[in-house]
Amino acid sequence: MGKKRYLGPVFMCVAGTLVAMQLILPITAEFPDTAAVPDVMSSTLGLLPSLGLDILTVIALAYPILFLEYYLLGVPVALLILFVTKIVKSTRYELNIMDIGKDFNGTQMVRRAAAPALFSVASAQMLREP
C-alpha cells in the first residue's frame, strides 16, 4: 500500500482547490465594484484591484503556512501525546479500541454501543431544555 494511499486525498485536495478557484472569480464578479474601498492586497502585492484575486492570493499564501503549521506543530504534538500515553499507560486506557476479547456477548454490546448512545441522547436533552 505505502504511498499509494495518499494519492486519493492529494487528488481530492488539488481538485477541490481548483474547483474553488474556478468558482471564486465568477461569484465575486457579481459583487458591486469595490473601487471606493481601499484595496489592501492590491496595493501591497501589486495585484489588479479585484476581490476574487484578493481571495485567490490569500488561498495561495495560506497553503504553505498551513503545511508548515501542520509539520511544525501538529506532528510533534501528536508524537508527544503518543509517547506520553505509552509511558503513563493506565490499566483502563487502551490504544487499541477494537480489542474485544475472546467472547463478545450482549452485555459487552450494550456497554460499547447502547450506553454511549443513551448518554448522548440524555446530554442533548439536557442542553436543549434549560
CA dihedral 77, 79, 83, 88 (to 10 degrees): 40
- The residue-averaged pLDDT of 74-81 equals 88
Instruction: Tell me if residue 38 falls in helix, strand or coil.
Output: coil
Residue 17: per-residue pLDDT: 87
* Tally of domains in the chain: 2
- The residue-averaged pLDDT of 115-128 equals 77
Whether 91 has a pLDDT exceeding 60, the answer reads: no
Residue 130: per-residue pLDDT: 58
- Those residues with Cβ within 8 angstroms of residue 17's Cβ, 6 or more apart along the chain or in another chain: 59, 63
Same domain as 123, residue 107: yes
Judge if pTM exceeds 0.85: no
Residue 12: per-residue pLDDT: 92
Same domain as 105, residue 91: no
Same domain as 74, residue 48: yes
Whether 117 has a pLDDT exceeding 90, the answer reads: no
- The residue-averaged pLDDT of 51-80 equals 86
Same domain as 83, residue 27: yes
Print the domain residue range for 106.
100-130
Tens of pLDDT, residue by residue over 13-60, are 889 988 988 888 888 877 765 555 555 555 555 555 677 777 888 888
